[in-house]
């Protein structure tokens, strides 16, 4: 995140909206705080780890004696008091023989409280539709639920929640999009060729400012009710699976929102990184593994807060670590989701990252996992994925894949700078050359832009020829491609201010002047059709996701690479210059041998002579080779 982080920090601290409009429908009411709360809210029998840590919260609960009524296979191994009088920790052991049912807990103190804690039968084992993972055959669509489509206006405003209302003319207010709005457009996503949906976090963000983005959670166990209920999220995942769509759940390990009950009534001071005065992270990820780093720099990077309203969790506290691990096991088992995208991965405590990854993978080996690693340099990025590099200070990443910021930098440079020895289109070659450091670079997620960056179409100067080059690269290079919502219909803008790249999808709200879900004309239609045609081709031709990759050093601004397998070969030729180039293909002989012609799959043009290619300026050809 080093080079771009000031803008990312800004995305999460925004001015309060100046205008709001209440929804016309009666507003639902926020839930009242329970007299006694226990996290996790329920659990399952048959989990691999028999131990369960229950965090009990209630005024003065530490003065109570906690007991568990006899229950076959379940033992209360200990009760632990914390610094706050309002918490107790119960440590349970749940044997493999335990059956689903209700645990009877009693707390005897000034008041007597009883609680029935539910143990459920597991949802995921034996059900192939759940926890499918993501892989190179997928095409991920990143969207912001609040900005995509409003399918249920009755949940736009929840009485008692801190955001004042809905104001679509304010970039930092809630706009009313929700889970139902996404579900209403499953057919649109399938037409585009999407196979997996990645919404930014759907958990509760009951913050008074800029709560729409989701990265300042206020309840680990609650879907934000302006998106829907927990039960509706479970159904959302189920219905996505029924439509052949996977669900990526966006999670934050590093920090929470300042309105989270765990921060407002802290179990203990050492649950958070405390500073004499507010101290923001320096956002210098190099301090994580710099062999010459100062302790002060690493401490500020790792333990500084991401923003004023985002308290930094102290994951070196084993109680905090267990709380977080249990929560992210809980969401998988509860919903059957398919993958985790991990926000601000590099900012978490190193040993905790290893512990978290081991626990999640042990329970759900098929779960997809990829992390945000907004860093500088290919070696630094590889360091945070599974790699062949030696450990540093005991840290060895077990994160299967990462968001490939280095290739995102490279494609943008390729389309905005002239070719040089290492610059322009050549940066793509050298970035991919560094794949030797990854255990499996195919698990990396490639992208053109996202919710924190200037939109791709604006970055390339709204040049439609360059746009098609970027899409062609995205859907033919190695890894798992991800598209940011609206890129397929040429949505544009810059990230300063960041809200401009998070505008509503046209047609997601009744009365929108344009509905690009259903009616597209001109270049918007051409862009959608181009993405769709190439994505559908990719889906039906495994060579583009399972085939090997061979690249050739760019020459005169032309970059050529091949995806190949026993099932076929696809050649991609990218001319980054403005003028037509004649490409002598003799040096591609090891991949062209046995092929006599080719079909450019996006246009249908036939290439009858492969010995020499004349490729127009600012053009990418995706050529299926024919024998």
* Pair 529, 556 in one domain: no
Q: Evaluate if residue 11 carries a pLDDT over 90.
A: no
Instruction: Indicate which residue of 183, 206, 343, 404 is catalytic.
Output: 343
* Pair 216, 90 in one domain: no
Q: Evaluate if residue 23 carries a pLDDT over 60.
A: no
Q: Evaluate if residue 207 carries a pLDDT over 70.
A: yes
* Pair 212, 312 in one domain: yes
Q: Taking the model in full, what pTM does it have?
A: 0.94
Helix and strand numbers (H, E) in the chain are 17, 26
CA 81 – CA 609 distance, rounded (Å): 78
Quote the tokens at residue 141. 């669509």
CA 502 – CA 336 distance, rounded (Å): 28
Within 10 angstroms of residue 362's Cβ, the number of other Cβ atoms is: 11
Q: pLDDT band for position 9 (50/70/90)?
A: very low
Q: What is the pLDDT of residue 104?
A: 98
Q: Phi then psi for 570, rounded to 5 degrees? A: -120, 130
Q: What is the mean pLDDT of the chain?
A: 94
**Which residues, including other chains, have CB under 8 Å from residue 366's CB and lie 6 or more apart?**
131, 132, 133
Which three-class secondary structure state does DSSP give residue 288? helix
Burial class of residue 476 (count of CB atoms within 10 Å of its CB; 0-12, 13-18, 19+): buried
Q: Evaluate if residue 184 carries a pLDDT over 70.
A: yes
Instruction: Report if residue 342 sits inside a domain.
Output: yes
CATH code assigned at 104: 2.60.40.10
CA 11 – CA 291 distance, rounded (Å): 31
Are the C-beta atoms of 523 and 490 separated by less than 8 Å? yes
Number of domains in the chain: 3
Are the C-beta atoms of 20 and 5 separated by less than 8 Å? no
Are the C-beta atoms of 580 and 557 separated by less than 8 Å? no
CA 621 – CA 469 distance, rounded (Å): 8
Instruction: Report if residue 448 sits inside a domain.
Output: yes
DSSP state of 65: E
Q: What is the pLDDT of residue 29?
A: 64
Which residue, 486, 519, 540, sits at the end of a domain?
Answer: 540
CATH code assigned at 566: 2.60.40.1180
Q: Phi then psi for 511, rounded to 5 degrees? A: 90, -5
For tokens 């996701």, the residue is 545
What is the per-residue pLDDT across 446-502, written as a single tens digit (0 to 9) for each? 999 999 999 999 999 999 999 999 999 999 999 999 999 999 999 999 998 778 999
* Percent of the chain's residues with pLDDT above 70: 95
* Pair 155, 115 in one domain: no
* Pair 85, 55 in one domain: yes
* Pair 133, 100 in one domain: no
In whole angstroms, how far apart are CA 267 and each of 40, 55, 262, 274, 321?
Answer: 15, 9, 7, 14, 14
Are the C-beta atoms of 144 and 451 separated by less than 8 Å? yes
Which three-class secondary structure state does DSSP give residue 31? coil
Q: Mean of the pLDDT values across residues 30-55? A: 91
Instruction: Report if residue 40 sits inside a domain.
Output: no
Parallel, antiparallel, or unpaired: how do β-strands 548-555 and 558-565 relate? antiparallel
Q: What is the pLDDT of residue 499?
A: 83
CATH code assigned at 346: 3.20.20.80
Q: Evaluate if residue 529 carries a pLDDT over 80.
A: yes
Instruction: Report if residue 561 sits inside a domain.
Output: yes
User: Quick one: which H or E segment has residue 559?
Assistant: strand 558-565
Q: What is the pLDDT of residue 22?
A: 34
Which residue, 105, 120, 135, sits at the end of a domain?
Answer: 120
Q: pLDDT band for position 19 (50/70/90)?
A: very low
Q: What is the pLDDT of residue 21?
A: 33
Are the C-beta atoms of 389 and 289 separated by less than 8 Å? no
* Pair 314, 444 in one domain: yes
Q: Mean of the pLDDT values across residues 257-268? A: 98
CA 98 – CA 75 distance, rounded (Å): 10
What is the per-residue pLDDT across 58-100, written as a single tens digit (0 to 9) for each? 999 999 999 999 999 999 999 999 999 999 999 999 999 999 9
Q: What is the pLDDT of residue 210?
A: 83
343 assigned to active site: yes
How many CA atoms within 13 Å lie on the side-chain side of 221?
A: 19
**Which residues, including other chains, have CB under 8 Å from residue 458's CB and lie 6 or more apart?**
492, 493, 494
Within 10 angstroms of residue 61's Cβ, the number of other Cβ atoms is: 22
Instruction: Indicate which residue of 138, 372, 449, 452 is catalytic.
Output: 372
What is the per-residue pLDDT across 277-302, written as a single tens digit (0 to 9) for each? 999 999 999 999 999 999 999 999 99
* Pair 563, 455 in one domain: no
Closest CA to 244 of 138, 403, 99: 138
For tokens 């955001």, the residue is 163
Instruction: Report if residue 553 sits inside a domain.
Output: yes
Q: pLDDT band for position 214 (50/70/90)?
A: very high
Instruction: Report if residue 28 sits inside a domain.
Output: no
Are the C-beta atoms of 425 and 559 separated by less than 8 Å? yes
Are the C-beta atoms of 370 and 446 separated by less than 8 Å? no
Instruction: Report if residue 348 sits inside a domain.
Output: yes
Are the C-beta atoms of 366 and 332 separated by less than 8 Å? no
CA 285 – CA 298 distance, rounded (Å): 8
**Which residues, including other chains, have CB under 8 Å from residue 130's CB and lie 6 or more apart?**
123, 124, 241, 336, 338
Closest CA to 568 of 512, 627, 504, 620: 627
* Pair 412, 362 in one domain: yes
372 assigned to active site: yes
Quote the tokens at residue 379. 């070696």
Q: Evaluate if residue 508 carries a pLDDT over 70.
A: yes
Are the C-beta atoms of 119 and 44 separated by less than 8 Å? yes
* Pair 100, 137 in one domain: no
**Which residues, including other chains, have CB under 8 Å from residue 231's CB and lie 6 or more apart?**
none
Within 10 angstroms of residue 188's Cβ, the number of other Cβ atoms is: 19
CA 603 – CA 605 distance, rounded (Å): 5
What is the per-residue pLDDT across 112-122, written as a single tens digit (0 to 9) for each? 999 999 999 99
**Which residues, including other chains, have CB under 8 Å from residue 328's CB and lie 6 or more apart?**
251, 340, 356, 360
Q: Phi then psi for 54, rounded to 5 degrees? A: -105, 125
Closest CA to 224 of 203, 250, 199: 203
Which residue, 495, 512, 540, sits at the end of a domain?
Answer: 540
For tokens 């793509």, the residue is 428
Q: Mean of the pLDDT values across residues 516-538? A: 98
> What is the residue range of 311's domain?
5-22+127-540
Q: What is the pLDDT of residue 164?
A: 82
Instruction: Report if residue 29 sits inside a domain.
Output: no
CA 447 – CA 480 distance, rounded (Å): 9
Highest mean pLDDT among 154-168, 322-336, 487-501: 322-336
CA 353 – CA 348 distance, rounded (Å): 7
Are the C-beta atoms of 329 and 124 separated by less than 8 Å? no
* Pair 147, 66 in one domain: no
* Pair 199, 296 in one domain: yes
Q: Phi then psi for 237, rounded to 5 degrees? A: -65, -45
Least confident of 23-32, 266-275, 386-395: 23-32
């Amino acid at each position: 995140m080093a080079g771009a982080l000031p803008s990312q920090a800004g995305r999460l601290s925004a001015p309060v909206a100046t205008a709001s409009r209440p929804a016309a429908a009666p507003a639902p009411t926020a839930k009242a705080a329970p007299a006694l709360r226990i996290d996790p809210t329920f659990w399952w029998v048959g989990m691999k780890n028999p131990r369960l840590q229950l965090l009990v919260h209630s005024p003065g609960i530490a003065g109570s004696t906690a007991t568990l009524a006899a229950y076959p296979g379940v033992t209360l191994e200990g009760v632990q008091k914390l610094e706050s009088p309002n918490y107790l920790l119960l440590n349970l052991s749940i044997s493999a023989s335990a059956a689903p049912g209700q645990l009877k807990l009693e707390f005897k103190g000034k008041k007597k409280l009883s609680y029935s804690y539910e143990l459920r039968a597991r949802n995921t084992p034996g059900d192939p539709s759940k926890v499918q993972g993501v892989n190179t055959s997928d095409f991920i669509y990143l969207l912001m639920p609040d900005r995509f489509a409003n399918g249920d206006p009755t949940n736009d405003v929840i009485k008692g929640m801190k955001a004042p209302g809905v104001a679509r003319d304010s970039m930092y207010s809630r706009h009313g999009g929700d889970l139902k709005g996404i579900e209403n457009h499953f057919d649109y996503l399938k037409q585009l060729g999407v196979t997996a949906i990645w919404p930014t976090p759907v958990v509760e963000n009951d913050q008074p400012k800029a709560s729409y983005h989701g990265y300042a959670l206020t309840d680990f166990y609650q879907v934000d009710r302006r998106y829907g209920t927990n039960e509706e999220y479970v159904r959302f995942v189920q219905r996505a699976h029924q439509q052949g769509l996977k669900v990526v759940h966006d999670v934050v390990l590093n920090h929470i929102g300042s309105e989270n009950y765990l921060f407002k009534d802290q179990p203990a001071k050492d649950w958070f990184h405390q500073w004499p005065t507010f101290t923001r992270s320096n956002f210098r990820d190099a301090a994580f593994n710099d062999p010459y780093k100062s302790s002060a720099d690493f401490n500020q990077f790792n333990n500084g807060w991401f923003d004023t309203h985002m308290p930094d969790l102290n994951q070196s506290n084993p109680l905090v670590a267990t709380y977080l691990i249990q929560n992210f096991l809980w969401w998988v088992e509860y919903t059957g989701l398919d993958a985790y995208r991990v926000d601000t991965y590099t900012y978490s405590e190193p040993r905790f990252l290893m512990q978290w990854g081991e626990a999640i993978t042990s329970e759900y080996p098929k779960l997809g996992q990829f992390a945000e690693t907004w860093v500088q340099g290919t070696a630094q990025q590889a360091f945070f994925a599974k790699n062949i590099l030696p450990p540093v200070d005991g840290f060895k990443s077990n994160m299967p894949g990462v968001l490939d910021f280095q290739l995102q930098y490279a494609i943008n440079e390729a389309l905005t700078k002239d070719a040089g020895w290492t610059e322009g289109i050549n940066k793509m070659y050298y970035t991919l050359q560094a794949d030797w450091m990854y255990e499996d670079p195919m698990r990396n997620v490639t992208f053109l832009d996202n919710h924190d960056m200037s939109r791709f179409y604006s970055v390339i100067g709204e040049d439609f020829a360059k746009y098609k080059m970027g899409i062609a690269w995205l859907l033919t290079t190695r890894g798992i491609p991800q598209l940011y919502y609206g890129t397929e219909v040429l949505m544009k803008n810059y990230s300063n201010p960041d809200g401009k790249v998070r505008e509503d999808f046209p047609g997601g709200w009744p009365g929108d002047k344009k509905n690009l879900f259903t009616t597209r004309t001109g270049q918007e239609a051409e862009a959608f059709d181009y993405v769709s045609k190439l994505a559908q081709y990719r889906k039906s031709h495994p060579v583009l996701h399972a085939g090997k990759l061979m690249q050739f050093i760019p020459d005169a601004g032309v970059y050529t690479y091949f995806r190949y397998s026993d099932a076929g070969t696809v050649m991609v030729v990218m001319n980054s210059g403005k003028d037509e180039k004649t490409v002598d293909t003799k040096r591609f002989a090891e991949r062209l041998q046995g092929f006599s012609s080719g079909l450019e799959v996006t246009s249908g043009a036939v290439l009858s002579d492969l010995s020499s290619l004349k490729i127009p300026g600012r053009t990418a050809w995706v050529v299926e080779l024919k024998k």
